[in-house]
A and B are shown apart, each in its own frame.
Chain A
Amino acid sequence: MGIASPSRRSFLSAASAGALVAATGPLLGACGNDGGSGAGGKVTLEFWNIATTEPQKTQYPKVVQAFQAANPNVTVRMTALENEAYKAKMTAQTTSGKLPDIFVSWGGGVLKQQVEAGLVEDLTRRAADLSATLNPLSMEAYRFDGRLYGIPYDMGMVGFWYNKRLFAKAGVKQPPATWSAFLDAVRRLKAAGITPIALAGKEKWPGHYYWSYLAMRIGGGAVFEQAETSRDFSAPVFVDAGRRLKELADLQPFQQGYQGAGYPTPGGQAALMGTGRAAMELMGQWAPSVQEDAGGDLGADLGFFPFPTVEGGKGTLTEVFGGGNGHALRKGAPKEAMDFLRFFLNAENERMFVSSGAFMPVVKGAESAITDPNRKQVAQAMTGATGFQLFLDQAFAPAVGQQVNDSVAELIAGRATPEQVTRSITQAARTQ
């Protein structure tokens, strides 16, 4: 949990001071049973989410109120938790075998474990109408053996966000498209006295993007799927990814004290970008809004380029690495819970979420609501993607995902070799 380490998903948009969670107070007054379709038609839905930051923090209660107005027999009880607290609490809840009716899920290995424990509702048929309207890529993380267990509401990808002014100052004419050009750009930036890359070393997950992308670029988009099923990460491609990352780390491209830096905290990764004290960061679709909140709005100086290809690698620029947010339902949740998910993604709400910059669209065609050029670029890259890999710390079982984060952080810090990284991840995959 650490001090201020809410990770990426809580920062799909800016965090800013405002009313406290008390805004939801009136909604909490209702008597509290565990939900379930009540005898008198009264239904209470437990809805756990991570909307503790703006603009979602004010949008969510509005959505809930509108839903309740349209369905007078339903009460939605919202519990908004800060991201890391939410994860810790969900672990405990999962262990106890009792999940809330509606809860935020990022799909992948965590959800899969809950599904295998028989705790999650199969939505394949119940949500058939809804899922037909969604971008198929966005549902991949929630699909196991052809069954759908979650409904996404946000979808995006990771890439380099860079400061055009600083790049120009260092004489880097255009965003690098290959790894060697990228390393060259880093050297130039460093020579010009600019911190090339901002990194939140304390939070570990931003570091794992580098290793994952490198492995995808070297071995092609499907490397992780193969490794996960064989529980073997010792293939040369992963060692090679580690070596490339070490090449980068050896240039000391990160800000001073990066190992203690958080992502959205003062002096953290987003703040350095927002205040123009670092030239680039490798981050997801939410990066601009967090920069704006933590440091400042770079405006037209902010640019986006996809992770460069590695010379001789099988991967291409159109294979993307990323993820988003979604909702899942507990097994046996009342049917009103599904109604709520449908309501949540109706055209009006989707427009509100997308245009306010809260989320990237999941509903087909909703891209048109995006005005910001960078976000547009991300949306286009998503639609043109030829391969997709979910964040490893979500895609894999938690033990493996956490080990990836841990080991890569050690590698970047120079405390583990590329071989040690693959060995410990393999070991975690085998003991899982």
Chain B
Amino acid sequence: MTSGPPATPGASAPATSTPGAPPGDAAAPDASTPDASGATVPARSAARPRRLRRWLSSAWFLIPALVLFALFVLLPIAIAGYAAFFRWGGFGPPSEFVGLDNFTRMAGDPIFRGDLWRGLVLVLLSLVLQLPLAVGTAVLLNGRMRGRAVYRMVFFAPYVLSEVVTGVLFGMIFLPGGGLADHLVEDLPLLGGLAGRWFSDPSTAMPTLFLVMTWKYFGFHMMLYLAGLQSIPGEVLEAASIDGAGAWRRFRHIVLPLLGPTLRISVFLSVIGSIQLFDLVWVITAGGPSHSTETMSITMFQYGFKRYQVGYASAISVAMFAISLVFSLLYQRYVLHRDLRGAVTAPGAPR
């Protein structure tokens, strides 16, 4: 314990003095580091075992994580990626190679296309309704207000509940005929027509699901904005209000631009979240009625666990993974770009 890692203790001391790889260079731009250590070693042939040893002296810390990650995350992904090219009922090893058939079938599958469309609708709904609500509440709670700590705690509470509990609870609340929701609206003039529909009618199921999602997740986004708001110095706002800027103008011209990075992150998480949405929908509607609340993961699960078309289900998994990946790469490249650069140029700034 006291003498250090099993790798040669001598290796760590020179490493700290090598100009290419000081331990504290972490704040340097990431792109320059990979070849930095390699470039400083001139004698290639003799350096090979030494380099491995030196590599190990830093990297052995990584090994447990790598093993765990490779076995339980990468290997399943690889299995799914392999199985996607087979017609496979899940019995024994896959043997009937079908090339891209599963993917072409997916492209023509109205349910899968519908999943994409519904995912988009969920994202748009979150952007138009949930995010403004979260920003608004955050601004309200950021102000001086009696009991705001309590409110904050209450609004966030649904986020810590499990999806299963939330799903079962709202399944009961929206039960056709006997649930709380029906009793709440049945005597109201405009909403009365909703009684008995909610999750029962393809046209209202999606909005109802969105309502539940808002209940569960808006507090999380609100917390993100609160964190963002609290990093805005009070003096800036005070200065603005002394200059005579009204509440709305202060919000529009100072708060909102400064919240930019938080907004972009929040949007990002909404999108990824709706691509991966599973437990909640599975417990409440399992995708119904008439596929009106089905998501990609539900479709995947239906094929994999109910229809024994594991090959096709794997192809859907691969598609989900690819969509998430491409989206996050593009988003990071084009939208989060400046936020990330800002972080690098101002090292150590708590974000």
Contact surface of A with B, Cβ cutoff 8 Å: 1-5, 87-88, 91-92, 94-95, 97, 113-114, 116-119, 201-202, 204, 256-261, 265-267, 397-399, 402-403, 406, 409-410, 413, 415, 431-432
Contact = CB atoms under 8 A, between A and B. Distances in A.
Interface of B: 89-92, 105, 167-168, 171-172, 174-179, 196-202, 205, 282-286, 288-291, 302-310
Contacts of A117: 89, 91-92
Contacts of A397: 308
A91 B305 contact: yes
Contact of B201 (A116, A259, A406): A259
Given A3-B171, A259-B290, A406-B291, 13 more contacts: A2-B283, A91-B304, A91-B305, A95-B91, A114-B91, A117-B92, A201-B200, A202-B200, A257-B177, A257-B196, A257-B200, A266-B175, A399-B308
A361 B303 CA distance: 34
Given A257-B201, A267-B178, A409-B290, A94 B308 contact: yes
Nearest to B102: A431
Q: Please indicate which of the listed interface residues A119, A202, A259 has the most CB atoms of chain B within 10 Å of its own CB.
A: A259
A201 B196 CA distance: 13
Given A1-B286, A2-B288, A3-B171, A260 B307 contact: no
Contacts, number: 117
A97 B190 CA distance: 55
A401 B191 CA distance: 38
Nearest to A87: B306
Contacts of A260: 174, 176, 197-201, 205, 285, 288-289
Contacts of B308: 91, 94-95, 113, 397-399
Nearest to B111: A406
Contacts of B89: 113, 117
Contacts of B176: 256-257, 260-261, 267
B309 A399 contact: yes
Contact of B290 (A3, A94, A415): A415
Sorted nearest first, the 6 A-B pairs with minimum C-beta distance are A260-B200, A3-B171, A117-B91, A95-B90, A267-B177, A257-B176
B305 A259 contact: no
B91 A116 contact: yes
A431 B199 CA distance: 32
Contacts of A1: 282-283, 286
B203 to A, nearest CB: 10
Contacts of A114: 91
A97 B284 CA distance: 31
Contacts of A5: 286
Q: Please indicate which of the listed interface residues B196, B197, B200, B310 has the most CB atoms of chain A within 10 Å of its own CB.
A: B200
Contacts of A257: 176-177, 196-198, 200-201
A281 to B, nearest CB: 16
9 contacts: A3-B283, A91-B90, A95-B91, A95-B308, A256-B176, A257-B198, A260-B289, A266-B175, A267-B176
Q: Please indicate which of the listed interface residues B105, B176, B290, B291 has the most CB atoms of chain A within 10 Å of its own CB.
A: B176
Nearest to B288: A202
A94 B286 contact: no
Contacts of A398: 306-308
Given A1-B283, A256-B176, A119 B306 contact: no
Contacts of B310: 95
A118 B89 CA distance: 13
Nearest to A413: B290
